[in-house]
Structure 1
């Protein structure tokens, strides 16, 4: 197995599809064709170029007549916090669709590493949740260790894992436990009573003392000097002011207690530095990166030859995420080119999450979404369909996984990403394309969704030779599926488009449409074809 980068050859369409699906929520024919002509290095460089959010800040159009508007920049107190949290997720998703950037995928990856739920367990203020999402965006292509320091002071996290209740005289170990077990070094193999190789129960207790006295700042008037984002603060009189000595898992490191706000923050930084000095921490993040960007499972050879060297690179780079992402995304292994067979392991190996599935459909078919401020009410009615029917009913409550461990697809073996595609989620997944074609929510009593896919216009404006049934099906399958499909599959799709008629039937129908603008026949046939193409097993994978 080779860990070296690809050579200078261009990606081609197949590898461009693979790269774009794994790195962006925006997936278009035009971008695919442009990436196909680039080398992996140049393509990744293009994808890491970030642009300013087209929707600068969340906007609440309610109450009618006197909207709360851009409430996140106001010091006033507002009602409707549950609605506003959903608006924050709408703001994030809308901007993710507008940018062909790795940043949003990396941001959501960080959400899987440092989990906060917008509702489960409660984060109280929607503005706190907004700050949390912005913090992930800020470090999406930045430094993991720095984020691991900043996340402790995030108001949403302080509430979500109860650290705002952690005092010297009344310690709360919840955040300390999850910080070690899930957020950073991870729990290793248990080798003794309360000893998990990478840390011990004693370390959890001592870490809770390090975190004591760090609490929310309700007015959001403490601004982090590095990020410009509101954060919590240290309450010195509630912090444990004893020195902290950790177990042999951390070489019995002693951290000197702080007695001032600045010294307590240094104490916290010393603790994070100690955790990140352990090789197990770098390895834990590289396993998460592998599972998120490449594949859910791997063999011992892959761990030895790819993941562990990547972890050493992460240490060398002082936990800067972008250099590691570049190495991962330009490696032969990422494109399944490190052995004799390049179609058996990586490409098409991950079941799309509901987020990936819907975002690809919306961006590929160029759906016109109402503007979130100029047409706010229709936008939010559409997003309610997205949030409830496309995400939650399909097994992905958006930005609110049911546990602090995150979505089962990223941690729960042996199924991992197969959790996305089950008897409970398959119908909502299949309803997505049918709802968009109808402009009605098939999972919710055919309620109007304010967005409709005009498949006839899309085909006319975007497909190379729409009058040829064979060319049309080949182009669709080439663009939509990770791998080329067999002639047998194409014949099956042709049967959907043509019914029992010969291929000339479609040509005549298309010519009739272009001359008369009567789309009665072509619309019906195209909607049948697209429904089958999107709900086929090939499209469920990336």
Structure 2
């Protein structure tokens, strides 16, 4: 029986790996050692402790000689800066730097919220500074309240631009935002039961919602600051707001929202609408299904729907849509660790294909990649490493334009049946995924060309993290225990061992090589072999899963 009962006892290595991969973008041997001494509940509570940004704001190192620098805090209008596409990539680099340098559930949930309230940074979301404000808003509510975010996001400049709601007024209604708000961001459609009529809302509800959302505008100079978040927000043009009463369908119990006229009252009208949408149990279930797909697995049966999704939705409602109690319950549960039954065919551990974001974050954090310091070497970090290599090459060729999904529904992995996360791995994305480790080991962009200003020292990694590395069997087994969700069998150990010990040679051949390296610190021979081993193990099927 699927169970949300908390897992008993402390996490072992297998379960600690599972939690760290699913809950953070920072995955290291040191953190595994820490979490294996905790209970599941203690571990999740540790991950939900908020911390200040490791990097406060993005920096543009270009143009060289006269960089735009910290342009997001400049007094210049955001749209007046040149290089907006570049700057949006640099904002993504700022976000990623924080994500891989902090062991926190905050960043995983922030990206989850991006999949719920999607904008495409390069698809019509305005200036880069507005995108920066959008990410800060997601971060602010990542450990907070989904319902409150669902109100605040309406006044976010990137969202206003992206779905044209800044053009929505009582004289010329624009239903784009209202439609996506119901269909994708909150309650979802449900089954279609007639022309223009879905289980959870109707076309008329979209028209009424568009009236609620009318008159919201962008404050281009970002001078209006939300007192709750400290983040710039838009404003209400009350003259363009439809002040008529809005009556909704039977899906919302034929509720009428009283039209308002003043700025303060129009915000109250928005609150009334959001409260109405979130009063429906299907809204809570929609978020809990998304959370399950994001953290556990992409498909589930009626038992999971009844015993996991529905109780989580009830918990979400009981906590007035605070996200942490629900995620804490899920990530601490027997079900999350697949400890609630003995069925081997429904494993959750190792059941999700890693996104390109998870893949690069895990490799860089685990192997302690020498990523340039963003403060001391902003040109090397932001432009050469992140934008030119990670953003423009790796992400694109691995099938994930970071923060620029193909459409407002988001990334196919999180919503598109029947493949879901299998979209991440295909003949079209394999080059980017497989070239990543080669590029980081060699320090050059093997996807296209050029330096990347970052490397991985595989020999130092083995020396610092693998006990008994002189034994090739131990080395391979311990590496597999760090890299893979599950331990590997003897056949796989022997397969990977051939990268250390040539066919026909005894194991002590590698022992001699390793001991000579320890004695004279000349890593030439061991580096060739360990580089080959790490490349093979990273690009193996087992590492693509989490």
* Structure-2 residue corresponding to 1:31: 31
The yes-or-no answer on 1:244 pairing with 2:230 is: no
Assess if the C-alpha contact under 8 Å between 1:123 and 1:159 holds in 2.
Answer: yes
Which residue of structure 2 aligns with residue 118 of structure 1? Answer: 121
Question: Where does structure 1 lack aligned partners over 5 or more consecutive residues?
Answer: none
- Please give the secondary structure, in 1, of the residue aligned with 2:106: helix
Distance in 1 of aligned mates of 2:236 and 2:361: 40
Could you tell me whether the CA contact under 8 Å between 2:153 and 2:159 is conserved in 1?
A: yes
Aligned equivalent of 1:438: 442
SS of 1:191's equivalent in the other structure is strand
What TM-score, normalized by structure 1, do the two folds share?
0.98
User: How far apart, in 2, do the equivalents of 1:198 and 1:343 lie?
Assistant: 34
Q: 2:414 aligns with which of 410, 416, 419?
A: 410
Query: What is the aligned counterpart of 1:481 among 484, 490, 502?
Result: 484
Q: State the Cα deviation string for residues 324-372 of structure 1 (Å, max 9, x = none).
A: 0000101111011111236742000000000000100000001121111
- Residue pair 2:168, 2:216 contacting (<8 A) in 1 also: yes
CA distance in 1 between partners of 2:178 and 2:447 (Å):
41
Tell me the equivalent position of 1:467.
470
**Does the 8 A contact of 2:126 with 2:157 survive in 1?**
no
* Preserved CA contact (<8 Å) 1:335 1:342: no
Partner of 1:84: 87
Tell whether the 8 Å contact from 2:371 to 2:455 is kept in structure 1 after alignment: no
Shift of 1:8: 3.5
Residue 66 of structure 1: CA displacement?
Answer: 2.0
Instruction: Please point out which of 105, 108, 111 is paired with 1:105.
Output: 108
1:87-166 matches, within 5 Å, as 87-120=90-123, 122-166=124-168
Retained in 1: the 8 A contact 2:2–2:303? no
Shift of 1:517: 2.4
Q: How does 1:24-423 map to 2 (within 5 A)?
A: 24-76=24-76, 77-120=80-123, 122-341=124-343, 344-380=346-382, 381-383=384-386, 384-423=388-427
Given candidates 490, 497, 512, the residue that maps to 1:508 is 512
Any idea what the Cα deviations from partners look like across 1:211-269, whole Å, max 9, x if unmatched?
A: 00001111101111111100110001111111100111111100011110111111111
Partners of 1:507 and 1:296 lie apart in 2 by 44
Counterpart Cα distance in 1 of 2:485 and 2:463: 24
Given that 2:4 and 2:330 are in contact with CA atoms closer than 8 Å, whether structure 1 keeps it comes out as no
Shift, 1:394, TM fit:
0.2
Task: Identify which range, 334-343 or 76-85, moves more after superposition.
Answer: 334-343
Matching of residue 426 in structure 1 with residue 430 in structure 2:
yes
Mapped partners of 1:4, 1:118: distance in 2: 37
**Which stretches of structure 1, 4 residues or longer, exceed 6 Å deviation after superposition?**
none
Q: Distance in 1 between matches of 2:216 and 2:433?
A: 42
TM-superposed CA distance for 1:520, in Å, is 1.9
- 1:279-318 Cα offsets, whole Å, 9 max, x none, are 1100000000000000001011110111011111111111
Q: Equivalent residue of 2:194, what SS?
A: coil
Give a deviation string over 1:53-83, Cα, whole Å, max 9, x none. 1211111112222221111111213211111
Q: Distance in 2 between matches of 1:82 and 1:210?
A: 32
Deviation at 1:33, TM superposition (A): 1.3
Deviations 1:113-148 (A, max 9, x none): 00011101x122111000000000000010000000
Q: Cα offset for 1:373?
A: 2.3
Maintained 8 Å contact 1:163/1:175: yes
Seen in structure 2, the aligned counterparts of structure 1 residues 353 and 112 have a Cα distance that, compared at 3 Å, is same
Instruction: Indicate conservation of the 8 Å contact 2:6/2:329, yes or no.
Output: no
Which residue is 2:538 aligned to? 534
Question: Root-mean-square deviation (CA), in Å?
Answer: 1.1
Instruction: Give SS of 1:448's match.
Output: coil
Helix, strand or coil at the partner of 1:440: coil
Matched pairs, number: 540
- 8 A contact 2:222–2:232 mirrored in 1: yes
Report the alpha carbon displacement of residue 7 of structure 1 after superposing the two structures with TM: 4.4
1:471 shift after superposition: 1.1
Rounded Cα–Cα distance in structure 1 between residues aligned with 2:149 and 2:101:
25
The alignment status of 1:492 with 2:495, answered yes or no, reads yes
The answer as to 2:459 corresponding to 1:456 is yes
After superposition, the C-alpha distances for 1:190-209 in whole angstroms (9 at most, x for unaligned) are: 11111001000000001001
In structure 2, C-alpha distance between the alignment counterparts of 1:541 and 1:173, rounded to whole Å: 40
Structure 1 residue 402 displacement after superposition: 0.9
| Counterpart-to-counterpart distance in 2, 1:520 and 1:33 | 30
Distance 2:378 2:137 in 1: 25
